[in-house]
Structure formats: structure tokens, C-alpha cells
Structure 1
Amino acid sequence: MSDVMPEAGAPPMSTPEEPVPLGVERTPTGRAEVDVVLGRLADADHLPADGHIEVYEDVHRGLRSELASLDARPAAGPVPTPSHRPHDPHHHPHHDNRS
């Protein structure tokens, strides 16, 4: 007999007729561009396993592109520094003028 029998208590091994969604939830990142790319992962739920790699590679390319665009954007101006008093020629911060 060449058929492999599942162990007692194990569900029978069968191949579903249609792909079964994994049900993995994706939490929004707050960046619309990234969320659109990650939304593409839902396409894998409707494909057989051998079609997943194309989706994953597409998502990977999209995320790499988004990261690269962060490096290409101009910096957001100078970092503010603590404000200083206007120059007062009578003010000497290192001298205590109290009597």
C-alpha cells in the first residue's frame, strides 16, 4: 500500500480547491504611501502559494522605494536652538554684580 495515512486525530490532508486567506491583519502605519504598498499583501490571500512570491517581491520593491524617497527629500530646515538674550554690553554672565 503506497498511500500515506494521517496520524490518528490529525485532520485529513487535502488540497483546497481555492486559496484560503491567511487572515493576517495589517496595522496602518500612518503613512498613506506605505499603507498602499502593504495593502498589496492582501492580493496573496487570493493566490495559490506559488503566486505569493511575486506579491512579496512587489511589496518589497515598494517599501524599498519608499525608504529611498525619504533619503531624497530635502531636510526640514535648521534645528532650532535655544533663544539667547540680545547682547547687553553691561551683562557679564560670569560676573556676579551683587554687592
Structure 2
Amino acid sequence: MSETVPQAGPPQGPAPGPDADPSAPAPLEVGRVPTGDAGVDAGLERLADADHLATDGHVEVYEDVHRGLREALTALDARPGPPAPPSPSHSRS
């Protein structure tokens, strides 16, 4: 017996009406999973703003998110880490 496996693909929403503008922005509806870092999560949510903009407006959103993610990574580098292990002694007794 053969089973039919549904194929994954883009989400199928309702068909556009006859007056739909093909050049109008169409949301990508990409799911975003929270990371637990408030700054990173805010940046990911900011990506949803691009869904409502024409393509030429995406760059501003992407650059803004990129800047925020970069700042989050820089902040991680600035945090003090655990103390370094003591270096091995070069003298022998």
C-alpha cells in the first residue's frame, strides 16, 4: 500500500482578488523563534516590518536589524569571562 506524503512548500493563503496589485508587498510569513535575548528578539521582530514595505524599503530594515545584532555580539564580547587558568610554571625544583 502506498502512502501519499504532502510536499512542503510556501504557505498557501487565499487567492488574490481580481483587484489585487501584483506589485503590492506580500508578507513572507517566515516564522521567528524567540532566542531569549531581548535585543536579538526585538531585531527579529523588526524583520516583520519588511513584510509591509515595497522591496526598496527592505534595505533600511535589514541594515537596522544588522546593526542591532552586531551591537548584541559586541556586548557579548565586552562581558568579563571566567578567570584564565594559571599558566604552567617554567621553573623546576
Once residues 67 and 17 of structure 1 are traced to their aligned partners in structure 2, the CA distance between those partners, rounded to angstroms, is 36
Question: Which consecutive residues of structure 1, in runs of 5 or more, have no partner in the other structure?
Answer: 1-13, 80-99
Q: Percent sequence identity over matched residues? A: 65
Aligned pairs, number: 66
Q: Secondary structure at the match of 2:57?
A: helix
Question: In the alignment, which residue of structure 1 is the partner of 2:77?
Answer: 71
| Deviation (angstroms), 1:20 | 1.2
Q: Does 1:23 align with 2:29?
A: yes
Higher relative contact order (CA 8 A, sep 6+): 2
| 1:18 to partner: Cα distance | 3.1
| CA deviation map 1:21-74 (0-9, x unaligned) | 111111111112210111100000000011001101111111000000001112
What is the 5 A alignment of 1:1-99? Answer: 15-16=21-22, 18-75=24-81, 77-78=82-83
CA distance in 1, matches of 2:83, 2:70: 27
Q: For residues 38 and 46 of structure 1, what CA distance do their matches in structure 2 show? A: 15
TM-fit CA distance, 1:16: 2.5
Q: Unpaired runs of 5+ in structure 2?
A: 1-19, 85-93
The one-letter amino acid paired with 2:37 is R
Structure 2: distance between partners of 1:17 and 1:70 = 41
SS in 1 for 2:22: coil
TM-score under structure 1 length normalisation? 0.58
